[in-house]
Chains A and B, each alone.
Chain A
Amino acid sequence: MKRLVPLVLCFIFGIVMIITQFSPHPYSKRVYEEVVSGALIISPFALVLATITLIQTHATRIRRRADHWPYSYIVFAGLITMVIIGVPLGPKDPVFEWLYNNVQVPMDATMFSLLAFFIASAAYRAFRARTTEATLLLVTALIVMLGNVPVGDLIWNTIMSWTPWADQASAAREWVLDNPNLSARRGIILGVSLGVISQSVRIILGIERSYLGGGD
């Protein structure tokens, strides 16, 4: 009941999705549509899992007086404020939109913009041409960075003015992205996809069961 039923469900839904995609029969199409629609209905409930985990984590922090535990109250304050306003009034409510636009958006954007400072600092302190591989990485990064911005064209043209490759900063960037980068990325795509496909087969056949978690 605890392990067999989920394994059977997983097998049935996996096989049904594979077969119905290849069969043009109207019944098969109907089954395909119903399964897609059913999976669509289950999706929003998955949020329950994430929310409960977050609430439990912060409740435990408060209970155990863990490091910086008072801040967990701020998590709850933010969450409850959004839910109290948003659930009854809807996401188009002006107050809800105001909170999103003036609290969530600036904090989210700023949080990620911090990385610009750390990238610059890391590039200065750790980006060294120590080996052939590191040199390739560094040179490529510099070519792409210069090709990405208009000032790169100016610099490239000044340095390369005596060569046939003047006016080619953006072209050099595009060539790198379109040739050696493309090969590496394609290798990764092929490798990852083969991995996903084989893992999917193992999941459907019940060989891979880690998604069931521990316990009996």
Chain B
Amino acid sequence: MLTKLVSMDRRIVFILVALAVIVPMLLHVSLPVSTSEPTQKLYDFVEALPAGSTIMLAFDYGPSSFPELSPMAKALLKQCFDKDIGVIAITLVVDGTTLASTLLEEVAEEKDAVNGEDFVFLGFRPGATQVILGMGTEIKSVFETDYYGKKLDEIPMMKNITNYDQIDILVDLASSNTTEAWIIYANVQYNLKIAAGVTGVMVSQMFPYLQTGQLKGLMSGILGAAEYEDLVGVPGKGKQYINVNSFVHLLIVLLVVIGNIAYFIQREREE
């Protein structure tokens, strides 16, 4: 029995994982989420910005991580549009371009935000370091037009914006090491304030930058997205997915505990 349990076919584990996702999703389970300090810090920073401020939002992720980061982007955009904060969006990741433009258009339509007045999407340029450094001197030297081909000089929102000096904070939604690049080049070289929303894989490595204040705030994976949705008051996919996550996490914890109990009993018997 014990041997069977230890050497259980991995496909049985796969079925259990699938069920742990499907069942709670159909049951629409909803549990309360408490807000962590790094998420609260980011929310407070944006909330304290006066109307007419500008934030830069970097969609530095592609399709492989959009389920974690798109809910963050939506909640943050809704907060900015509600508070009349201008958003300059860009991406340093090539396969995030269409994803970013679609998401912006979707939220803008929902919030009646106007392209060119409430937000601008500059698009993508290759060479992350060069793009970050180039915009520090002059945004126009890297992006002469926005993603839709309109010259920056003709965009009302960009009238008084030359470089990072006119931007209050950059929020990097990242699935790779772009956040470090923003810190190393934009923060050190041009004093641009940085905050981030990152995938679960990257959460642990962001904490040294939070403690030094190089990061003003942090949304940690889908948990951060759910927390931010709660703070802004717009429950969405973040809240839904973190609740379903509960059951898969529970299953994995149980599997680890059972696996270890079986292992120790087996080892005892062998000795």
Q: Give me the interface of A with B, judged by CB distance under 8 Å.
A: 21, 33, 36-37, 39-40, 42-44, 46-47, 91-92, 97, 100-101, 104-106, 108-109, 111-112, 116-117, 119-121, 123-125, 127-129, 138, 141-142, 145-146, 148-155, 170, 174, 177-178, 181-182, 185-186, 188-189
| Selected contact of A178 from candidates B32, B205, B211, B249, CB within 8 Å | B211
Flag if B260 contacts A154 (CB, 8 Å).
no
Determine chain B's interface SS by DSSP, over half rule.
Answer: helix
Smallest CB separation, A65 vs chain B (Å): 32
Flag if A150 contacts B207 (CB, 8 Å).
no
With a cutoff of 8 Å between Cβ atoms, the chain A residues found around residue B178 in the complex are none
Q: How far is the CA of A145 from the CA of B8 in the complex (A)?
A: 23
| Selected contact of A150 from candidates B65, B148, B243, CB within 8 Å | B243
With a cutoff of 8 Å between Cβ atoms, the chain A residues found around residue B127 in the complex are 39-40, 42-44
Q: How far is the CA of A105 from the CA of B36 in the complex (A)?
A: 31
Tell me which of B43-51, B96-104, B164-172 binds A. B96-104
Smallest CB separation, A36 vs chain B (Å): 5
26 pairs across A/B with beta carbons < 8 Å? A37-B141, A40-B127, A40-B130, A40-B131, A44-B127, A92-B148, A97-B98, A97-B102, A109-B66, A120-B16, A121-B13, A123-B252, A124-B252, A127-B259, A129-B260, A142-B256, A148-B200, A149-B246, A149-B249, A149-B250, A150-B242, A151-B249, A154-B31, A181-B204, A186-B208, A189-B205
Number of interface residues of B (CB under 8 A): 65
**CB within 8 Å of A: which B90-134 residues:** 95, 97-99, 101-102, 125-127, 130-131, 133-134
With a cutoff of 8 Å between Cβ atoms, the chain B residues found around residue A21 in the complex are 189
Q: Give me the interface of B with A, judged by CB distance under 8 Å.
A: 6, 8, 10, 13-14, 16-17, 31-34, 36-37, 62-67, 95, 97-99, 101-102, 125-127, 130-131, 133-134, 137, 141-142, 147-148, 189, 200, 203-205, 207-208, 210-211, 221, 223, 242-243, 245-253, 255-256, 258-260, 263
Total of A-B residue pairs, C-beta within 8 Å: 153
Q: How far is the CA of A91 from the CA of B10 in the complex (A)?
A: 42
Flag if B102 contacts A149 (CB, 8 Å).
no
Chain B residue at minimum C-beta to C-beta distance from A100: B98
Q: How far is the CA of A112 from the CA of B250 in the complex (A)?
A: 21
The 7 closest A-B pairs by CB, nearest first: A43-B127, A151-B246, A150-B31, A108-B63, A124-B255, A40-B130, A105-B63
Flag if A153 contacts B259 (CB, 8 Å).
no
Flag if A101 contacts B97 (CB, 8 Å).
no
Q: How far is the CA of A47 from the CA of B127 in the complex (A)?
A: 11
Flag if B63 contacts A121 (CB, 8 Å).
no
Smallest CB separation, A117 vs chain B (Å): 5
